[in-house]
């Protein structure tokens, strides 16, 4: 405060260090974005046509009960006060109780979230492992058949409804060929066999050393994860290709080639090294995108993750659960965005 007074006075200018200022600005904008996210979910919760009091007390409650609950929920207070209450609750990770099973929404989310994370993480691994080399190859051999293949793969990925591709995958690989497990996380004989540690069955099974469960879980996850992997591959390979093309046309590459450096070194030690930061940003963003893409995928594969949770809640008008799930997904999305932004700022000297 004293600082600002001085600068206003005009004689004693003590400028904040640039990095401190950037940090404050970044923190400020993160706070505003988070606040905005919560405000939107709050408003959605207010305009929806379901009466939250009736939902709790039921149709046949007396007027007194109704009024009591109405008061208890704070619905007689001004909107702003209600919003502050809401903020307070969310800060304490309290999203209210689910109308379906009368359990706290936060507990439900903590239970289903590892399933989504397991799926999205395996998906992004597949997307990166296949997408990055494909993008690099497409850039190095621009116009060749591999470039065309990469282009078509990406184009089809952008145009295909993910839930339909999932259904087709189930039909072919489960229904006709029988190569993979069907919907769900594990077969019916393996449910709750290994003790829950992380909530991710592959890891839990590995910790337990129960490789039968691991194999079964793997046969169930591989199809939905490949599906998500394909969607991130479409994006990652395109971005890798355009980053690489930009680098490969730079003068330092020509210099390296003139010096007689091998093509492998030119591509991987020079060009690729310079796109790593941009690439990590892209990967973080597509990871966030996968969390979203998993909503429809989870439905198709009866995967008990957050996407299934939100949609089930939605269809049964369980608003606390819907909003809680939305806030959590939104939060993760924002955090990943910020993370990729920061990464870029930290590692790319030009962004400073």
Asked if residue 132 lies in contact with residue 240, where contact means CB atoms within 8 angstroms, the answer is yes
* Residue 310 sits in the site that holds other proteins (CB under 8 A): yes
* Residue 242 sits in the site that holds other proteins (CB under 8 A): yes
How far apart (Å, rounded) are the C-alpha atoms in residues 260 and 266? 10
* Residue 37 sits in the site that holds other proteins (CB under 8 A): yes
Min CB(164)–other proteins separation in Å = 3
* Residue 158 sits in the site that holds other proteins (CB under 8 A): yes
How far apart (Å, rounded) are the C-alpha atoms in residues 108 and 323? 13
* Residue 160 sits in the site that holds other proteins (CB under 8 A): yes
Phi, psi dihedrals of residue 168, rounded to the nearest 5°: -65, -40
Min CB(172)–other proteins separation in Å = 9
Question: Residue 183: which residues within 8 A CB-CB, separation 6 or more?
Answer: 170, 220, 300, 301, 302, 303
Asked if residue 68 lies in contact with residue 53, where contact means CB atoms within 8 angstroms, the answer is no
* Residue 319 sits in the site that holds other proteins (CB under 8 A): yes
Q: Which two tokens stand for residue 187?
A: 């077969």
* Residue 323 sits in the site that holds other proteins (CB under 8 A): yes
Give residues 175-194 in contact with other proteins (rule: CB under 8 A).
Answer: 175
Asked if residue 208 lies in contact with residue 104, where contact means CB atoms within 8 angstroms, the answer is no
Q: Among the candidate windows 76-84, 204-212, 259-267, 333-341, which touches other proteins by CB under 8 A?
A: 333-341
Asked if residue 193 lies in contact with residue 213, where contact means CB atoms within 8 angstroms, the answer is yes
How far apart (Å, rounded) are the C-alpha atoms in residues 187 and 4? 64
Q: Among the candidate windows 84-92, 115-123, 257-265, 288-296, which touches other proteins by CB under 8 A?
A: 288-296
Q: Which is nearer to other proteins, 136 or 213 (CB)?
A: 136
* Residue 250 sits in the site that holds other proteins (CB under 8 A): no
* Residue 164 sits in the site that holds other proteins (CB under 8 A): yes
Min CB(196)–other proteins separation in Å = 26
* Residue 115 sits in the site that holds other proteins (CB under 8 A): no
* Residue 123 sits in the site that holds other proteins (CB under 8 A): no
Asked if residue 108 lies in contact with residue 67, where contact means CB atoms within 8 angstroms, the answer is no
Min CB(10)–other proteins separation in Å = 22
Phi, psi dihedrals of residue 104, rounded to the nearest 5°: -60, 135
* Residue 135 sits in the site that holds other proteins (CB under 8 A): no
User: DSSP string of 260-291?
Assistant: T--HHIIIIIIIHHHHHHHHHHHHHHHHHHHH
Q: Among the candidate windows 75-83, 127-135, 166-174, 262-270, which touches other proteins by CB under 8 A?
A: 166-174
- Identify the CA nearest to 50 among candidates 307, 317, 273, 302: 317
How far apart (Å, rounded) are the C-alpha atoms in residues 298 and 308? 6
How far apart (Å, rounded) are the C-alpha atoms in residues 347 and 345? 6
Q: Among the candidate windows 61-69, 85-93, 160-168, 201-209, which touches other proteins by CB under 8 A?
A: 160-168
Instruction: Give the residues lining the site for other proteins (CB under 8 A).
Output: 29, 32-33, 36-37, 40-41, 44-45, 47-49, 155-156, 158-165, 167-168, 170-171, 175, 242, 245, 288-289, 291-293, 295-296, 299-300, 310-311, 314-315, 317, 319, 322-323, 325-326, 329-330, 333-334, 337
């Amino acid at each position: 405060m004293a600082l600002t007074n001085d600068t206003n006075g005009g004689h004693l200018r003590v400028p904040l260090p640039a990095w401190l200022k950037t940090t404050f600005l970044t923190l400020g904008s993160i706070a505003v974005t988070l606040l905005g996210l919560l405000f939107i979910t709050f408003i959605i919760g207010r305009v929806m046509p379901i009466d939250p009091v009736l939902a709790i007390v039921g149709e046949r409650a007396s007027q007194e009960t109704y009024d009591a609950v109405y008061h208890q929920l704070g619905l007689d207070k001004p909107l702003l006060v209600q919003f502050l209450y809401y903020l307070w609750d969310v800060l304490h990770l309290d999203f209210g109780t689910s109308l379906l099973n009368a359990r706290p929404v936060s507990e439900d989310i903590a239970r289903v979230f590892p399933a989504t994370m397991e799926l999205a993480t395996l998906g992004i691994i597949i997307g990166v492992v296949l997408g990055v080399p494909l993008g690099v190859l497409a850039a190095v051999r621009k116009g060749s058949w591999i470039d065309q293949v990469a282009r078509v793969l990406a184009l089809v990925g952008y145009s295909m409804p993910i839930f339909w591709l999932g259904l087709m995958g189930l039909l072919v690989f489960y229904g006709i060929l029988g190569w993979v497990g069907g919907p769900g996380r594990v077969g019916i004989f393996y449910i709750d066999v290994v003790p829950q540690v992380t909530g991710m069955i592959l890891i839990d099974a590995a910790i337990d050393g129960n490789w039968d469960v691991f194999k079964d879980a793997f046969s169930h996850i591989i199809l939905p994860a490949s599906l998500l992997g394909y969607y991130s591959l479409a994006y990652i390979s395109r971005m890798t290709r355009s980053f690489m093309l930009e680098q490969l046309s730079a003068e330092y590459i020509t210099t390296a080639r003139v010096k007689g450096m091998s093509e492998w070194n030119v591509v991987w030690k020079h060009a690729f090294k310079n796109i790593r930061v941009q690439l990590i940003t892209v990967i973080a963003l597509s990871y966030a995108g996968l969390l979203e893409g998993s909503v429809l995928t989870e439905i198709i594969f009866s995967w008990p993750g957050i996407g299934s949770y939100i949609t089930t809640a939605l269809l049964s008008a369980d608003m606390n659960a819907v909003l809680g799930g939305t806030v959590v997904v939104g939060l993760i999305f924002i955090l990943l965005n910020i993370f990729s932004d920061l990464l870029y700022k930290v590692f790319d000297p030009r962004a400073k």
